[in-house]
A and B are shown apart, each in its own frame.
Chain A
Amino acid sequence: MASIVLDHLVKRYAGAPEPAVDGVSLAVDDGELVILVGPSGCGKSTVLRMIAGLEDITAGELRIDGERVNELGPRERGLAMVFQNYALYPHLSVLENIAFPLRVSGRRSEAEIRRKVGEVAALLELEELLDRRPSQLSGGQRQRVAMGRAIVREARAFLLDEPLSNLDAKLRAQMRTEIARLQRRLRVTTVYVTHDQVEAMTLGDRVAVLRRGRLQQVDRPRDLYERPANLFVAGFIGSPPMNLVPATVEEGGVVLPFARVRLPPALLRRAPPHARLIAGIRPEHLEDAALVGGEARAEGVVFDANVDVTEWLGHEQLAYVPYDAPGDIEAALRRLARELAGESLRTQLVASLDARSAIRGGTTAKLWLDARRMQLFDPDTGENLTRDATAGA
């Protein structure tokens, strides 16, 4: 078991204008599971491969248990990796696949090898499959064999590169809990890369969000969700994503395209008058006004909304409310949307209503916005103004 420290790691590819990884610093404690998450191309896999030793480190230092390992090859670092496509040896049986690292080290006797493989197979419930070839296994089984190969080495840390992305949705959910259970049981330091923010939120002790090679925020999942450091993190974490709405500061509050909201003094101090900001409202902070009781109602704002489409999902109902946005903010929002989701979103509000709501698409309805939970962002820097303001509180 070991701690891993990334100290201003940089990765530059020849001929590329921007570095793929730009000064990422991260400290992973012994036994911790840290997740690297971000949209494709953000550099998360590159960071993982640098830790593994499969990519050279251009600048910065990588320390495992306090020692610098930049110059060491993968063999010497004592780390184990599970690849996205599992990289199982197709010509070997499951038993031989798991035994491979032990055989290759040449330092274990045949009896010892069999014993260790047996232990790992028992742990992962692979005993029945030991004689099969990878081509005869299902996706989930292959994944377990890949994990088995990593575990058998008793490595100092595990590196997992999108291990669940090749499984179908149902299996993914199952394996997620398996991995969590396993990691807790073995208490191995783990660095886990994924593009799926649901995985990130459910599995990690801490989550590091990356964007274009730079670290945006490292925090516990809850903190990422409730107090995102900037626009990118706010838009990336959460599904359905946070609504990002243009807001103009005016007289003790902000004006949104569909409502006016009063702001607490602490927040007002950080917001210059007449400034154009972006307000962040999570879908669950909007509700059918008819279902909101008296006291709570006062804490928020009720407004009329043109509900375009609704989707009833059983445990909730999503309502889509289009609105008009001023040009410049819209451009900034569209850029952001492209980075996060890969397509331009329409300017519309997504509200997550109680399933009992009677609101239907194509009507006008009264919605309630929980103003206490609203966040404000600076559109140019992306900073979360609300977070800073309440930090001291």
Chain B
Amino acid sequence: MTTDHEDRGVPGARPTDRGRGERRLAWWLTAPAFGVMLVVTAYPMLDALWLSLFSYRLTDPGGREFVGLRNYAVVLSDALWWQDVWTTVLITIVTVSVELVLGLAFALVMHRVAFGRRVVRTSILVPYGIVTVVSGFAWRYAFSSETGFVNGWLGLGDFAWFGHRASSLLAICAAEIWKTTPFLSLLLLAGLAQVPDELGEAARMDGASAWQRLWRVTLPNMRASILVAVLFRALDAYRVFDSVFVMTAGAQGTESVSFLAYRQMIGRTALGLGSAVSILLFLSVVIFAALFLKALRVDLVPVRGAR
């Protein structure tokens, strides 16, 4: 992306002065935002990196000692860590796949529906805007064998959803899917809206059925939007925390990596270990994103509609 050589403002100043003055102004304008972001993310991150090299419990500050990479060794050799990673990956894969299909279906409906367009759009923004914790509670109580209606509706009697790992995960996935499909469907709708109508008409003239049109013309032309949407959702899903906290508090093997980090840091105030987990979490997100972008050759910055 080259610098925007658009309107430059009042004519009269000499070009070189203006250019320099502009750059300075630009710098001054972005510095605060940049600074805040840097301070609140980079500094703690570096601090976490530092802390992870120590065995450090907040309750015992005197006992802080430098242990190098031992914390990492401890984490990476812990079965719990790997179980949590697997859990998180599972949740990510399940939710993103379902959301993609559902989101696409929603986008297709929203794209063409004539009446009630406003109503549909407004209602899908409700899950988007609703507090995640509220959604967590709603679904928790819905699935609960004591208070919920899910058992009643599905005829499952007294099934304790939160008593088993698989069903707990399913409940968590349900909550996540409900909450974030709307956002995904909006991103997909944007991508869909950018596919020219004419292509669909040409395909109709060429004899393609509705299904063929979808597969061969519409979806391929939405590739960029779909990939960006999947990337953001996957990164989001990997960081799942609120729903896990509220619905199961990590019980029954539903703990996610973020939850593990939290538990270590805040719950157990084991800052050293917790920091190691945090760093590993951060690294895994970065690696995943990098691999994704590399593999699919998606250019993020000029793409519109990205979060």
Contacts and interface: CB of A to CB of B under 8 A. Distances in A.
A91 B202 contact: no
Nearest to A159: B205
Interface in A69-103: 73-75, 79-81, 83, 85, 87, 89-92, 100-101
Contact of B221 (A73, A83, A85, A90): A90
Contacts of B206: 80, 100-101, 104, 149, 153
Given A54-B201, A83-B202, A104-B212, A91 B220 contact: yes
Interface of A: 52-54, 73-75, 79-81, 83, 85, 87, 89-92, 100-101, 104-105, 149, 153
Nearest to B204: A74
Contacts of B109: none
A319 to B, nearest CB: 44
Contacts of B205: 52, 54, 74, 79-81
B207 A75 contact: yes
Contacts of A73: 204
A87 B223 contact: no
Contacts of A105: 207
Most buried by B among A73, A91, A105: A91
28 contacts: A52-B205, A54-B201, A54-B204, A74-B204, A74-B205, A74-B207, A75-B208, A75-B209, A80-B206, A81-B201, A83-B201, A83-B202, A85-B198, A87-B198, A87-B202, A89-B220, A90-B221, A91-B221, A92-B220, A101-B207, A104-B206, A104-B208, A104-B212, A104-B216, A149-B202, A149-B206, A153-B206, A153-B207
B102 interface: no
Contacts of B201: 54, 81, 83, 87
Contacts of A101: 206-207
A74 B208 CA distance: 9
B227 interface: no
Contacts of A153: 206-207
Contacts of A100: 203, 206, 208, 216
B196 interface: yes
B74 interface: no
B25 interface: no
Contacts of A91: 220-221, 223
A87 B217 CA distance: 11
Interface in B215-255: 216-217, 220-221, 223
Size class of the contact patch on chain B: 10 to 19
A149 B201 CA distance: 13
A89 B220 CA distance: 10
B101 interface: no
B199 interface: yes
Contacts of A149: 202, 206
Contacts of B196: 85, 87
A390 to B, nearest CB: 44
Given A80-B205, A104-B207, A89 B212 contact: no
A83 B198 CA distance: 8
Contacts of B199: 87, 89
Contacts of B221: 89-91
Nearest to B199: A87
Contacts of A87: 196, 198-199, 201-202
Contacts of A52: 205
Interface string B172-215: 00000000000000000000000010110111111111001000
Which of the listed residues B202, B204, B212, B221 has the most CB atoms from chain A within 10 Å of its own CB? Answer: B202
B81 to A, nearest CB: 42
Nearest to B219: A91
Given A104-B216, A105-B207, A149-B206, 17 more contacts: A54-B204, A74-B207, A75-B204, A75-B208, A75-B209, A80-B205, A81-B201, A85-B196, A89-B221, A91-B221, A100-B203, A101-B207, A104-B203, A104-B206, A104-B207, A104-B209, A153-B206
A352 to B, nearest CB: 40
A63 to B, nearest CB: 19
Nearest to A91: B220
A332 B288 CA distance: 72
Nearest to A92: B220
A73 B199 CA distance: 17
Nearest to B205: A81
Contacts of A92: 220
Nearest to A73: B204
A87 B208 CA distance: 14
A332 to B, nearest CB: 39
Contacts of A85: 196, 198
Nearest 8 interchain pairs by C-beta: A87-B202, A101-B206, A87-B198, A91-B220, A104-B208, A81-B205, A74-B204, A75-B207
B197 to A, nearest CB: 9
B186 to A, nearest CB: 23
Contacts of B217: 89
Nearest to A74: B204
Contacts of B204: 53-54, 73-75
Nearest to A81: B205
B42 to A, nearest CB: 40
B286 to A, nearest CB: 30
A68 B185 CA distance: 41
Contacts of B207: 74-75, 101, 104-105, 153
Interface centre among A80, A81, A87 (most CB of B within 10 A): A87
B248 to A, nearest CB: 43
A105 B208 CA distance: 7
Nearest to A75: B207
A92 B223 CA distance: 13
Nearest to B198: A87
A107 to B, nearest CB: 10
A149 B203 CA distance: 11
Given A75-B207, A89-B217, A90-B221, A81 B212 contact: no
A85 B198 CA distance: 8
Contacts of A74: 204-205, 207
